[in-house]
Amino acid sequence: MIAHLQRASHTAGLLTYLFGPGERGNHTNPRLIAGDGHGAPIEMLAQPDALPYLARALDAPVERLGARAPERPVWVCSVRSDPRHPDLTDSQWAEVARRVVAVTGIAPDGDPDACRWIALRNQPHRVYVVATLARKDGSLHNAYRDAFHLQTECHRIATELGHLPLAPRPTPLAQESHVPAPYVTINIEPSGSVSARGASDDLSATLLKHAGFQQIEDWYGRRHRLPTTTPQADRAAIATHAAEMLRAARYSVDLDPDLDTSRLPTPANPLGLYTTGAEILRLTDQIRAAENGAGLEQAVDHLLHPEHGVLERVREALETAGEQITDLDDEAYALADRFGFAAEFVSAAQSELVGAEVELHRVGDSQQDQVKARTQPPALPGSRSAALATSPAAAKVSSALGTGAPEVGAVVHPSQAPGSRTR
C-alpha cells in the first residue's frame, strides 16, 4: 500500500478534477465515502452540481484565517493498494482514510478542533483524502512529518491485509562518518578562460596544479586558472581530469557541463548527456554476458537492490518529480499525479521481484546436471558387456539381428550433448 502526498491552492478546482472524468477518462463512479465537516453537510454537497458548495465548506476555516492563510492550504493524499490483491470495499477504504488523517494529525480521534476532510473514490484500488490545513481553533496543521507517518501507517495496513510479500529485510550497513567536503567550482568565465575556485587548502592546489592549472593569488584570494595558451580542445579534458582527482580526494566539485567530457557526445560515448542511460546499457550488456546463475544474480542485483538498485532510484526520481511539479505549480496536480502513479507502478514491480535473486542463483543448475549425466558413460556390469560395447563384430551381429548396438561407453563431447547451448 502506497501513499502519495500533494498540496494545492484551490479546493474547487481539485474537486472538479477528482469528481470529473479524469485527464485520461479513467475516473469511474466518483463518490464520497467518508469525511468530517464539523457540522457542514458534506454528504449532501458531494454531488457534481454542488461541488462549489462542498469546496466552500472545506475552505471555511481557511478563509477565517485571513492573511495568515497559507498559499497552498489544500492537503491531498492518494493511497493505492496492491492491484494483485482483491480491491477493498468502500467501508474498508473509509477506515483506511480515517487512519490516514488520524496518524498524520489532520483529524486525530476525538479532536473536536481537527481539520475538515473528505475521502472519495474514483478508481479501483485507490482512495483520495482531501483536507484543508486550517483547524477549527484557528491554528494550522504542521505537515512536516506527514510523509513519514503515512509510510509507516501504510506498511502497517498492508501487513494487516496480508498484502506484503514475505522477504528477508536487508541487513543495515554500518553508517559511515562523513567529514564535510570542501567545495570546488570549475567553470568557464565570461572572458572565456577556465578557472577553479573554492577550496584554498594545499591538497586541492596540488591536485589542480598536477592537472595543469596555474595558481593565482591576488586580492580575490587563491584561485586557479588554465594558461591562456591551453588549446581549446584540451581545456575540457584538463578540467574533467582535475574534477576526477578532486572527487577521488572527497572534494565536492561543480564542473561546468561544457567542460565535462563524460557528458559530451563522442564516438565512444554517443549518448552524451544521457550518462545514466549509458550506465544502464552497460548493465544490460553485463546481464546478457552472464554465463551462469551466479553471474546473472550479481548483475541483476544492480537492478533489484532494495536501497541502491536502479528500480529504487527510478522510483525515488519519479516521486520527487511529482513533488517538484507541485512545488513549482500547485495547479498542476493532474501532471504530478501521473508521476506519482508511475512511481507506484515501479514500486509494484519491485514487490513482484522480491526474492528473485535467490532463484536467479539456481538458474541453469538442473540443466547442467542433465548435461553432466549424459556426458558421463554408465558403468558396464562385466567384461563381456565391455567387449560388446567396443567390438565392431558385436555391432555387426546386433545390426543383423535388428536389435541395434547399445551406445554405451561412447564418448560424447559437451558441444554434442543434447540440450547443450553453443556460445
Dump the DSSP string for 165-179: ---PPPPPPPPPP-P
Distance of alpha carbon 237 from alpha carbon 239, whole angstroms: 6
On whether the CB atoms of residues 356 and 301 are closer than 8 A, the answer is no
Look at residue 366 and give its three-state secondary structure: helix
**88 vs 1, 93, 103, CA distance in Å?**
12, 6, 20
What mean pLDDT is reported for the chain? 78
Q: Which is nearest to 111 in space by CA: 98, 97, 92?
A: 98
Tens-place pLDDT, residues 44-62? 777 777 888 899 999 999 9
Q: DSSP character for 304?
A: H
pLDDT score of 324: 84
Tens-place pLDDT, residues 168-187? 555 555 554 555 557 888 88
Residue 184 β-bridge partners: 198, 253
Look at residue 78 and give its three-state secondary structure: strand
Q: DSSP character for 388?
A: H
Tens-place pLDDT, residues 347-380? 888 878 887 777 877 776 655 555 555 555 554 4
205 pLDDT band, cuts 50/70/90, is confident
CB half-sphere exposure, 46, CA atoms < 13 A = 23
The residue whose grid cell reads 458531494 is 46
pLDDT score of 184: 87
pLDDT at 304 over 80: yes
Tens-place pLDDT, residues 138-171? 999 998 889 889 988 998 998 898 887 655 555 5
pLDDT score of 384: 41
pLDDT score of 406: 45
Tens-place pLDDT, residues 213-234? 988 876 666 788 888 788 877 8
The residue whose grid cell reads 539456481 is 362
CB half-sphere exposure, 44, CA atoms < 13 A = 5
Look at residue 71 and give its three-state secondary structure: coil
pTM score, whole prediction: 0.48
Q: List, edge to edge, every strand of the sheet that includes 183-188.
A: 214-218, 221-225, 194-198, 183-188, 252-255
pLDDT at 189 over 50: yes
Tens-place pLDDT, residues 105-147? 999 998 999 999 999 999 999 999 999 999 999 999 998 889 8
pLDDT score of 373: 53
On whether the CB atoms of residues 342 and 319 are closer than 8 A, the answer is no
pLDDT at 389 over 70: no
pLDDT at 254 over 80: yes
The dihedral over CA atoms of 362, 364, 367, 373, expressed in degrees to the nearest 10, equals -70
**Looking at per-residue confidence, does 25 or 46 come out higher?**
25
The residue whose grid cell reads 554500518 is 174
**Looking at per-residue confidence, does 262 or 84 come out higher?**
84
Residue length, the chain? Answer: 423
The cell for 86 is: 482483491
The cell for 25 is: 477518462
